[in-house]
Chain A
Amino acid sequence: MSIAASLAWIESTDLSTAIREGALLYPVIGGIHLLAIALFGGMVLVTDLRLLGWVMRSRPVLEIVRQFRPWKWAGFAVVTVSGLLLAWAEPQKLYRSPAFWVKMALFALVGVHALGFRARVYGNNARLDVAETAEGKLSACISLLLWAGLIVSGRLIAYDA
């Protein structure tokens, strides 16, 4: 099946139609996507701020990283599922949107970032129990930039129509 045919098939499904044309479903799913930024964005933010040494300096870095990790995963799950549902509703529009592809590239980079810094930062590197490290600070800066980029590119999708 060609890409065009696949996207058209997705839009023909009941789920896609229900989200796209239902009065409340689309804004509610979008609202959940936004709510995840509000409720879980703080966890990402504070983890990164701690890695930078800008907040909660009285607690060891790794303690903060570990404590926020399950919440970050929960937030990640919520944005991903709600994002997938939003994409399922309008795949053809998203396929044609440059902002969407920028967002997907950043999303992939979030994964690369997590893997890339696993050994030096997120994988319980003992040096972080003593003080902030240069890799930790670099990791935090990249994380903050990636997430800001995700928010901005996400917002710009609506303007690509």
Chain B
Amino acid sequence: MSSFFEWLSTSPWANAMNGPEWAFPVVQSLHFIGFAFSIGTIAIVDFRLLGWALPSQSTAELAADLDPWTWAGFALMLTTGPLLFSADAVTYHHNPSFQFKMVCLLAALLFHFTIHRKVARSQAPPLAAKLVGGLSLVLWTAVIAGGRMIAFV
């Protein structure tokens, strides 16, 4: 398994990431812009589920309207993320903050495509809606916190 990460960190795209000085920060900036799209649109739906914003639309309408942009964000994250990881795969996969982030990401994505989707698209009772919106925000916040701490552990 460790040879996979070694191979990854010397792959052509990893070399491209580690080549020019601007490569890593530009890809990382796109990573941030990507989560403004994905987590940003999910957060809007979550605030609606919590009853804090946008009362004029139903949650279902909002979720359906924003879904393509959430997907655009996911597409950006799923390309920039692995690129960033490959730049130093051996170090990152040992990093406890990165591991925490990946666990939270998996949980967040699983939650998003199952319970969150179901509740957002239906007329769920207010308590269920609030719990789902709140949990979604907590999970995605944990992903960002995990990402943030990678450089500090």
Contacts and interface: CB of A to CB of B under 8 A. Distances in A.
A155 B25 contact: yes
B49 to A, nearest CB: 14
Contacts of B148: 27, 30-31, 34
B44 A43 contact: yes
A141 interface: no
A35 B44 contact: no
Interface in B22-78: 25-26, 28-29, 32-33, 35-37, 39-44, 47, 53-54, 56-57, 61-62, 65-66, 69
A58 B62 CA distance: 11
Interface stretch (B4-12, B87-95, B114-122, B138-146): B138-146
B53 A71 contact: yes
A17 interface: no
B113 interface: no
B36 A37 contact: yes
Q: Is the interface of A mostly helix, strand, loop or mixed?
A: helix
A151 B32 contact: yes
Interface band, chain A: 20 to 34
B128 interface: no
Nearest to B40: A42
Given A27-B152, A37-B36, A71-B53, A159 B140 contact: no
Contact of B33 (A43, A49, A151): A151
Given A38-B140, A55-B65, A58-B65, 5 more contacts: A43-B44, A45-B41, A45-B69, A67-B54, A71-B53
